[in-house]
Every structure is written in structure tokens, then in C-alpha cells.
Chain A
Amino acid sequence: MKIKLTSILVDDQAKALHFYTGVLGFVKKTEIPMGEHKWLTVVSSEEQNGVELVLEPMGFPPAKIYQKALYEAGIPLTAFHVDDVTKEYERLDKAGVVFSMKPTRMGGAMLAVFDDTCGNHIQIFQV
């Protein structure tokens, strides 16, 4: 058994694609139309054969309640690894990304949390 995909729920796939590729710097891997939604995945530009992140549409209404509750509590939906959290923070801050937690140390790790504009908080970490 292998982990090839992981997913995040987004309120708008077009907006999500713009943010995850245009702002964060991921690369689009697969886009297949499925009626009103798409099968849409992105990968890290550093690991283009690595795990794919599915930008998953909000097809199931109760999922909105879950997403909203996490968002209001400030809980990140997922986390991405970066080499230098402070540098990423400066880059994204300049690009207009809103951070709910600036770079903060937790033991041996450094973490920060930002808003992905699609209804989620996302954490970046460096170990």
C-alpha cells in the first residue's frame, strides 16, 4: 500500500488552481473535466513524480460545515514541508498571502500558518 494522493477541500477549483500554482508555486499535474467539477491535482515543482495533491471540490454539503469549523478554530487542514519557513513567509507575505501564525518555533521545528483563500488554513513547517 502506498500513499500517492492526498486531498484538500476547496470552495472553488479555479481559484484554488490559481493560488496553489500561481502563488505557492506547485505545478498542475492532471486536469480532467467531470461535469461541473474537475479531477484536478498539483505536485511540488521539486518532486514532480511525488505525492499528488487533489484540489477537491465541495461536492458533499456537510463537508462545508467541517471546513468552516476547522477554519474558525484556526486549525490547518494540512501541512507542507519547506526548507526555510522564514524565507517562505517573507516570499508569500510579499505576494499578499495572509498569515494567521507567523514563523514560530515548536521544539526543533519552525511552523507558520496561512490562509489559502479557498476556505482553509495551511501550515508550512521546517524540521
Chain B
Amino acid sequence: MTYYQQQFISIREKSFPKDYLCKQVIRGKEFIDSHFHNPIVLQDIAQEAYFSKFHFLRLFKLIYGKTPHQYLTEVRIEQAKQLLKTDITISEVCFAVGFDSVSSFKGLFKRYTNVTPSTYRRQYAYPQPITQSSLRFLPYFLSLKKSNFQDIQPRTNTDLCASSN
């Protein structure tokens, strides 16, 4: 057994509940993954995992480092990002991912992504081509002999974007 495996087992025993309890909590998490677009509440999720509300809340936070409600919001925001790449309106996106108020959706979206849904749609939904600025040398490259760099030719953005398979 490697050093990593020994550490792994020791951390798992100290930090996490028994495997059968983890599996129950994962059931609750998977319930969120597949029902986020419905108006679900903690009671529904805990019930799916066969826990009382408070026991589930405590174990979920221990395992995932966030509350089920925070996780549900994250899932909805991630889904909203995908839908913002389509042509549907922002209020349609809001209701499609399970929020029931457009103004609270806009506020939460801004809090989680730092931009409003309309700004996100404009700036991020359509991928930008990579630019030369992403070509930065890393520490080990810098330690190569200077002569190794002499044959580098300036490249255009088009060259850099071309993915040769």
C-alpha cells in the first residue's frame, strides 16, 4: 500500500461518517441533481435519503461542505448558465431551472457568478478564441537554455486557435 493510500484511508476514517451513511446522503444529492427544476424543499430531499431533516442537513454539510439549499442553488445556477447559451428569455431560464422569482434569480445569479444573467449571456455564453496572452512560459521552460527559444516564431491568433488532431 502506498503512502498516499495509507493517508487516504486514515483521513477518510477521521473525517467522514460510515460508508452506508455517505451513500444515503449521496441519494439526497442525486435527488437534487434530478429534481432541481421542481420546487423542492429540505423535507423532500431528506426523505429521499431516509433521514430526519436535521440529521440530513448536518451530514450533508459534513460531506459536501455546504448546505443542501446552497447546493441546490448552485445546480440551478449552473443549469441556468447552459440555458443562457440558448435563445430562451431570461425569465424562461429562471422558471426552467426551478426558481420562482425572476428578481431573486437575477440577484442569486449575480452573487454566484459576479455578473447578471444578461451580461453573462453577452460575454460568456459564446466562447472567445484563445489569444497569445495565454501563451506564457512556465518555470521549467524558463530554465531551458536560451538557445532553445530562438526558433520561436510569432504566431497569429488563427494559428493558435487551430486545433490539430
Contact = CB atoms under 8 A, between A and B. Distances in A.
Interface string B136-165: 111111011101111110010000100111
Q: Summarize B's interface: helix, strand, loop or mixed.
A: helix
Interface string A36-63: 1101000100001100101011111001
Contact of B12 (A5, A30, A107): A107
B97 interface: no
A29 B5 contact: no
Nearest to B144: A59
B135 to A, nearest CB: 7
Contact of B135 (A39, A49, A106): A39
Given A101-B8, A108-B29, A58 B140 contact: yes
A23 B12 CA distance: 30
Nearest to A43: B163
B2 A4 contact: no
A78 to B, nearest CB: 13
Interface residues of B, number: 42
B163 A27 contact: yes
B40 interface: no
Contacts of B25: 108
Contact of A60 (B12, B26, B135, B140): B140
B24 to A, nearest CB: 11
A96 interface: no
Interface in A20-40: 21, 27-37, 39
A74 B5 CA distance: 7
B144 A34 contact: yes
Contacts of B138: 5, 7, 54, 56
B164 A31 contact: yes
B136 to A, nearest CB: 7
B4 A34 contact: no
Nearest to B127: A49
Nearest to A29: B163
A39 B19 CA distance: 44
Contacts of B145: 35
A111 B9 CA distance: 12
A124 interface: no
B139 A34 contact: no
Given A105-B19, A107-B12, A108-B26, A35 B2 contact: no
8 contacts: A27-B163, A28-B163, A31-B164, A56-B141, A60-B139, A60-B140, A73-B2, A108-B63
